[in-house]
Amino acid sequence: MGKLKEKQLNLFWRDRFKKTKNPISAVYHADKPDWYNYFFHKQKLKIFDSIISKINIKKTYKVLDIGCGYGFFSEKINKSVDEVFAIDIVDEIIKYNKKNASPGINYFAMSATSLKFQDNLFDLSFSLMSLQHLPNSLKLKAISEICRVTKNKGYILLIESIKPEEKSAHVFPLSYDSWVEAFEMNHAKLQLVYGAEYNYLLRFAGKFFSKFQTKQSLIANSNATSLISYFKKILKDIILRFLIGISYLTEPLSRIIFKPSNAHRCAFLFKVSK
């Protein structure tokens, strides 16, 4: 059963990478425009930097990126350390990354549920929006693997959805408490947590956009495109761009005002204590 689910996961991501031209959109909301996805990417980069700045990263650190996708974050951390290992379940994306890799990054096609690394190898392991895509039984297997390969006193960084009610065909979020519990069961203690993606208005706009797009394609299919639908499209675009614009301001503000558990995602930093 586990093997079958992993095969389906692999096929889903292979298909996503093949069909989505923009690498950033491929790992976020593939049905939305690239400029919409840049917002989420920039927020993730900021949070990643803030958390990394709290760890006293040494050049000698060995780092593991789990579910690396196009390796944006492997490339980023590679500037601070000598050696980065990055894994992903999709063979094709690993082959692509290998061709474009900076010196110091080693890409491998493998599943997070069965890491082909010795125990206690990494000083820092991270999964950014990858574990949330594993069904729960596979997720727990992957968490125990990540803790196994991370050194005692090493760090584990996660950025994952904390809204189980937003479960879908390929997203299986845990609640805030369940993420913490799953890592604590594997001897990793929570050190720091940041909220990310608080913006409810933006999420609502995203859903509205998807519905609108479906309607538009139905109209287009019936060849009944009109001036009104053209203006509606422009209006929708302006509204979304406006909401994205204000979200650049409200996101950092929300991080100050609201608790991390009120956010849509959380960045968790754990320290291993075996």
Binding residues for ligand SAM, rule: CB under 6 A, are 6, 9, 13, 27, 67-69, 72-73, 87-90, 111-113, 128-130, 133-134
Name the minimum Å distance from CB 156 to ligand SAM: 14
131 token code pair: 């574990």
CA distance 188 to 168: 28
Q: How far is the CA of 177 from the CAs of 10, 181, 261, in angstroms?
A: 28, 6, 9
Name the minimum Å distance from CB 71 to ligand SAM: 8
176 token code pair: 């805030």
Helices (H), 80-175: 91-100, 136-149
Closest residue to ligand SAM, judged by C-beta, is 69
Among residues 128 and 202, whose Cβ is nearest to ligand SAM?
128
Among residues 48 and 209, whose Cβ is nearest to ligand SAM?
48
Nearest to 199 by CA among 236, 165, 132, 244: 244
Name the minimum Å distance from CB 248 to ligand SAM: 20
Give, as one character, the DSSP assignment of residue 249. Answer: H
Among residues 35 and 212, whose Cβ is nearest to ligand SAM?
35
Nearest to 122 by CA among 190, 61, 49: 61
Among residues 9 and 51, whose Cβ is nearest to ligand SAM?
9
Name the minimum Å distance from CB 112 to ligand SAM: 4
